[in-house]
A and B are shown apart, each in its own frame.
Chain A
Amino acid sequence: MDLEANRKLLAAALARIGTGDRNALQTVYRLTSAKLFAVCLRILGERSAAEDALQEVYMTVWRKAAQFNAGLASPMTWLIAIARNRAIDFARARGSSRNTEPIEVAAELADDAPMADTTMQTAQDQARLHQCLGGLAERERTALRGAFFDGNTYEELAERMKVPLGTMKSWIRRAMLKLKSCLEQ
């Protein structure tokens, strides 16, 4: 299925969930659960916690679908944000993210894998983000990766990269500022 058809199908299903339609929730589940489960699994690291989080993700979708505004966000962006936030809630509740191993900045270089999934995000958006991330300092990109993919807090990132908390905060803030400015060009 192409991206635009997928987007329309998801937006329509979210609108129907807002009226209490369970079939519409099932449609959203069928189309997105493998991606959202992977997002949760990446942050939580073990399947049973990721399953609990995913259940909460779709309960949140059920409750909040009426608030989804197709004019403000793409359905997949909205769903990914819910999945990341529910998984992060679980991670915070148990005290830590899955991955708090020390990060060697140099080792992260090879980790900037090409993006391949064009069923949910446009290739153009992916290429643009990738290009802007490429413009960051390695340590900044590494810190952002730890936050986005592993759900790390400032404190966890500071520990993983062996820098003081204040330094980590300034890296992240500077990186986000650069990223925004690059994406707006």
Chain B
Amino acid sequence: MSDVQDHSEFSGDELLAAEYALGVLAGPDRATAERRMARDHGFAALVAAWEQRLAPWAAEITEVAPPPDLWDRIVAELPAARAQGGGFWQSLAFWRGFAIAGALATACLGALLYFGAVTQQPPLIATVESGGRPLFVATIDPKRHTIAVVPAAYIPDPTRIPELWLIGADGKPRAVGPLRADRTVTIALPPALADEAKSNVALAVSLEPPGAPTDNGPTGPVIGQGILTNL
């Protein structure tokens, strides 16, 4: 073709990067570019540079609000996405592990300091977990009849509230109170619940819609469980 010298300044890589960023490739050519991006940082950087050059053009596109329920669809798909494998998930798991370890260390240290200072009676502790992932750490002060619950790896659900339950000797869940993802919640246990809060008793956390009644057990999914043990 007569245009060869016109674009001879583009290396093969740069041309492929430009074509991918512009979006003109299809089929195997597009797949080739995506494979290169995944394993070749230099090539990925070429694509990113082209995306940066072209992105200001998108300012011409007038915003259109998506339907209100689209966010719910995305939230509904998140846990399934987390279960997928792949290189990225290993790195995410690594970082999440870091966050969990930090939160757990903080929770345990806090419990030790708190109870070491204020009580001689041994506190009860339970890690509410799901598949080995600690979601919350609960500590009960038997003297004060309070339960303090520290969030660990719980990922907040914007539409629902985590509710703590204590499974009574009759096997029925008793509502303890709502928890928070962002800070420790301390709840005073009513006498009936305080009497039941003993070693080897199970705790559970479910996700409840705001304002859901708690008289008859969880209405939403139970996301984790733990057993109270003496610290």
Contact = CB atoms under 8 A, between A and B. Distances in A.
Given A35-B58, A74-B52, A117-B59, A66 B88 contact: yes
A149 B61 contact: yes
Nearest to B14: A180
A106 interface: no
A136 interface: no
Contacts of A78: 48, 51
B54 interface: yes
Nearest to B8: A177
Interface string A93-136: 00000000000000000000101111011100110110001000
A55 B10 contact: no
A37 B24 contact: no
A113 B59 CA distance: 10
Contacts of A139: none
B26 A153 contact: yes
B70 A173 contact: no
Give the size category of A's interface with B: 35 or more
Q: Is the interface of A mostly helix, strand, loop or mixed?
A: helix
Nearest to A29: B71
A73 B63 contact: no
A177 B7 contact: yes
B55 A177 contact: no
B156 A22 contact: yes
Interface residues of B, number: 61
Contact of B88 (A25, A67, A74, A113): A67
B190 interface: no
A147 interface: yes
Nearest to A180: B53
A90 interface: no
A60 B102 CA distance: 27
A26 B76 CA distance: 13
Given A81-B48, A155-B26, 16 more contacts: A22-B75, A22-B78, A22-B157, A23-B156, A23-B158, A26-B71, A33-B66, A33-B70, A38-B63, A55-B74, A72-B45, A77-B51, A116-B59, A121-B59, A125-B56, A183-B53
7 contacts: A25-B74, A34-B64, A59-B77, A63-B88, A66-B91, A81-B51, A155-B26
- Per CB-CB distance, the 8 closest pairs between chain A and chain B, nearest first, are A170-B3, A34-B63, A77-B55, A117-B59, A173-B7, A37-B66, A81-B51, A125-B56
